[in-house]
Structure 1
Amino acid sequence: MKTDTIRNLTPKAKENFIAFLKTTELPVGYSDPEFISNYINFAFDESLEKSGIDHKTAVLIIMASLVASGGENEYEHMVNAALNLGVDTVSIKETLYHTTPYAGIGKTAQFTRAMNAVFTKRGIDTKQKSQQTVSKDDRYEKGLQAQIDIFGERMRNHKDSYTPDTRHFADFLSANCFGDYYTRTGLDLKFRELLTFVILASLGGVESQLKAHITGNIRLGNDRVKLISVVTLLVPYIGYPRSLNALSAINETAPYKEK
């Protein structure tokens, strides 16, 4: 089947797109060259360049966002891009794993199949070394410690804020969300918390959780500048309403300060 070369790309968009995907041919799944050239010019020139985020970090952020927003076709392209850029398979897989407690298994299961399909096509073993560090006996304690490391000592007694009939949700958060996922190796705690911000911003409609994790990011050193850079990168993938909502959450939680 004949493939069309994407035309009318800016020099920087073309340079970055080739770095990511090693081609300027129309990606599989697209039949409208004008549509895709508009996307590439914005995503791979203006948005990527303005964000200032390095390519390897950017592609992991984009992949987490695509899982949260349901962009399976683009996700497959970005798995290929990550491999082209030299991102290790553990980071790719852990980024996907980390979306699970936020986006839900209904989304992440299909993306696991997509990721493994790319790995298989490129001759990569889909069975990777486990990054799990907890057991059923200590996942709660280690998860709670991760919460404390991110949000501070106030989390030690966070169960007290739940009513007796909802306290199991606090247990789930500590043992499952933080214990089963945040404690995994392959990605450090600071980057996992940044990915959580990405996932929540991409989901939309979760402003209270988004603000809480902005606070967590600030505590870990992902400052306002970093978070705005991330939103800048995400605009082409999540659209303006969710991007502007994320900016509002940043402004409320970490207001701009005159220098």
Structure 2
Amino acid sequence: MTAVAAPSLSVSSPASTPASPSTDRFSRGHALLCEIAGPGGSDILNGLGDIAPDLARLTVEFGYGDVYARPGLTLAQRQLINVAALTALGTAAPQLRFHIDGALNIGVEPARIVETVLHMAVYAGIPAALNGMAVAKAAFAARPELDFTPARSDTDGTRTLGERHERGLDALARVDGEAGERVVASLADIAPVLADYIVDFAFADVYSRPALDLKTRELATVAACTALGTAAPQLRVHLHGLLNVGGTREEAIETIVQMAVYAGFPAALNGIAAAREVFAERDAAGRAGE
């Protein structure tokens, strides 16, 4: 979501009485926009003034004043799940650049941004991750003051195949538990090599990298699977995964709700339906264990 103009420029605050809900939403949203975009945030979308000034206003009011202002996720978490979703979608490079810049503006470390983009290689493919990394590289290059040295993990091929597989199985068990194990087992009779790739690449090579904690990885995965709109079974698995690694139901719902802004209401509605199923399963399991 690209930034929009300030009230004093081509997009003006709605004409209403002081402290009305409409002006409150705009003011709240504009303050958040400027916190993310920095000093130039007010000027970014003045170009909408001559064609769709209401789109600019609605972006501020809804995207920032309504959604971004909600509790449940930190501003850094909101920026990283946007980076994940926009990388996965692969259709909004300017908006991805805006949110990478925004993440840097609020103090997110470059390594965490890079790792979020890299993580999307698993869920949207390596081309999507490569394109996202090109956007990140340009954002970093525009900030020569950044002290960023790419980190290499110990998953760089120096382990034996057996060690790599065991590492992947351990990560799979910690993140997705029985749900992940069922996915792997379901492939045994038709594509066991795909099961191996899930364990060895997704979990041993990517999930085990140290630059991003498991909870943030699962928030990014829930955002991406929701935004893509084509991965309902995988979304359910990773909603379980998020809860398994310390995420909360509130964080899961907030992540899905935010995708209404970036991927549309149908994607968010489908994501909420998946969350409803997952929560019901866990509640039933909890009652059975009492």
Same fold (TM over 0.5): yes
Contact 2:79–2:99, Cα closer than 8 Å, also in 1: yes
Q: Which moved more, 1:115-124 or 1:11-20?
A: 115-124
Out of 64, 68, 75, the position equivalent to 2:88 is 68
* 1:170 counterpart = 2:195: yes
> Which structure is higher in RCO with an 8 Å CA cutoff and minimum separation 6?
1
**Secondary structure at 2:42 match in 1:** coil
Q: Over aligned residues, Cα RMSD in angstroms?
A: 2.5
Residue by residue over 1:216-258, the C-alpha shift from the partner in whole angstroms, topping out at 9 and shown as x without a partner, is 112222222221111222221111000000000000110398x
Residue in 2 that maps onto 1:14: 30
Residue in 1 that maps onto 2:44: 26
2:138 aligned partner, one-letter code: A
1:29 to partner: Cα distance: 8.1
After superposition, where does 1:1-259 map in structure 2 within 5 Å?
Answer: 5=9, 7-9=11-13, 10-22=26-38, 23-27=41-45, 32-70=52-90, 71-123=92-144, 128-136=149-157, 137=160, 138-152=163-177, 159-255=184-280
Name the CA shift for 1:150/1:20 in 2 (closer, same or farther; >3 Å): same
1:135 to partner: Cα distance: 4.0
Contact 2:72–2:251, Cα closer than 8 Å, also in 1: no
Aligned length: 255
1:196 aligned partner, one-letter code: T
CA distance in 2, matches of 1:159, 1:196: 18
Q: Indicate the percent of aligned positions where both proteins have the same amino acid.
A: 25
Contact 1:50–1:232, Cα closer than 8 Å, also in 2: no
Contact 1:144–1:155, Cα closer than 8 Å, also in 2: no
Residue by residue over 1:54-74, the C-alpha shift from the partner in whole angstroms, topping out at 9 and shown as x without a partner, is 211111111111112222110
CA distance in 2, matches of 1:19, 1:157: 43
Structure of higher CA gyration radius: 2
Q: Which moved more, 1:156-165 or 1:245-254?
A: 156-165
Name the CA shift for 1:44/1:161 in 2 (closer, same or farther; >3 Å): same
CA distance in 1, matches of 2:46, 2:121: 26
1:8 to partner: Cα distance: 3.0
Name the CA shift for 1:156/1:34 in 2 (closer, same or farther; >3 Å): closer
CA distance in 1, matches of 2:72, 2:101: 22
Contact 2:32–2:69, Cα closer than 8 Å, also in 1: no
The normalised TM-score by structure 2 is: 0.80
The normalised TM-score by structure 1 is: 0.89
1:79 to partner: Cα distance: 1.1
**Secondary structure at 2:230 match in 1:** coil
Contact 2:110–2:148, Cα closer than 8 Å, also in 1: no
